[in-house]
């Protein structure tokens, strides 16, 4: 890693190889920030360097591997040459779908390894570079989701991981109040990114054919594939992140999907029906999917 201009504010973004992370890196680079971006493949590093030149500094890091994270901290610290990070932006994440009683355990576990434990591992390790207690301490921004407040069928594993991110964000914010380090959560809904496309392609209508959820799973697949019309541009996330890291009075939460308000206002039974209907699962309410479950 080469030395960089220490006069510009520096941020670390995890998971910049594609999707929201790549969009955020590009957005902040064009606004004068130095961006340290975590990548897992060297090929991605070269591609991004070619696109962004000197203001982007790739950091090879696996957020689930403690040794990899510690090596990344040392590398970034050396490049900062005594200055601190303006912000740590925890973006790296994975998505997985399936009925909770039948979803492969390894898939559930890996979702938490990246989305929850990886986020906390990175935060604990990079906190030393945020200037805790200094005149201008850095900030922490966690990319959560509307799923951190609302859980829909077949996305419960992902939602549970994002609920955990919400809890970690609140806990960190309150524990770091006296240090001056502000902690915020960005809570987008569907965002038009390669990850969203990858998630749609990864859905396999054959996965739960013999399951008690076979009919509803097939309908869910079709509904999710049609959600692209509702998907928003990554710019809405980028603008929220910029406010969170630069505003004099940043918000603690940035909800970017209006659906979460309905969950707070409506009774559970009514909201359950609304969720199922919006996913095309109204027949499920009538007990149409009643095959025996094959619990793993």
Cross-strand pairs, 141:
89, 184
The token pair at 44 is 């991605």
Nearest to 123 by CA among 94, 91, 145: 91
Nearest to 146 by CA among 260, 32, 274, 64: 260
Catalytic residue among 33, 158, 213, 254: 158
CA dihedral for 48, 49, 55, 57, sign (positive or negative): positive
d(CA 141, CA 232): 20
DSSP letter at 98 equals S
The token pair at 65 is 């591997």
Give the β-pairing of 34-39 and 10-13: parallel
Q: Percentages helix, strand, coil for the chain, rounded to the nearest 5? A: 50, 10, 40
Active site residue 208: no
Q: What is the dihedral of CA 192, 198, 199, 205, to 10 degrees?
A: 130
d(CA 245, CA 183): 9
Active-site positions read 158
């Amino acid at each position: 890693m080469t030395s960089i201009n220490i006069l510009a504010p520096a941020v670390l973004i995890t998971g910049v190889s594609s999707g929201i992370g790549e969009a955020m890196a590009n957005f902040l680079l064009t606004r004068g920030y130095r961006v340290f971006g975590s990548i897992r493949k060297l090929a991605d590093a070269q591609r991004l360097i070619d696109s962004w030149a000197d203001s982007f500094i790739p950091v090879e890091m696996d957020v689930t591997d403690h040794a990899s994270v510690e090596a990344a901290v040392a590398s970034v610290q050396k490049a900062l040459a005594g200055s601190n990070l303006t912000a740590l932006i925890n973006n790296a994440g994975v998505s997985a779908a399936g009925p909770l009683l039948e979803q492969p355990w390894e898939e559930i576990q890996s979702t938490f390894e990246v989305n929850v434990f990886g986020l906390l591992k990175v935060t604990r390790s990079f906190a030393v570079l945020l200037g805790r207690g200094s005149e201008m301490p850095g900030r922490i921004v966690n990319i959560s989701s509307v799923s951190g407040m609302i859980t829909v069928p077949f996305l419960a594993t992902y939602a549970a991981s994002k609920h955990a991110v919400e809890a970690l964000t609140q806990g960190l914010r309150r524990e770091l109040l006296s240090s001056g380090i502000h902690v915020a959560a960005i809570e987008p809904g569907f965002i038009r990114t390669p990850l969203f496309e990858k998630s749609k392609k990864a859905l396999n209508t054959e996965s739960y054919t013999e399951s008690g959820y076979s009919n509803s799973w097939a309908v869910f697949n079709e509904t999710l594939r049609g959600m692209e019309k509702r998907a928003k541009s990554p710019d809405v996330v980028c603008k929220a992140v910029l406010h969170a890291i630069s505003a004099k009075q940043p918000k603690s939460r940035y909800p970017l999907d209006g659906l979460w308000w309905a969950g707070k206002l409506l009774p559970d039974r009514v909201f359950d029906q609304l969720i199922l209907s919006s996913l095309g699962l109204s027949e499920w309410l009538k007990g149409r999917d009643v095959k025996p479950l094959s619990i793993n």
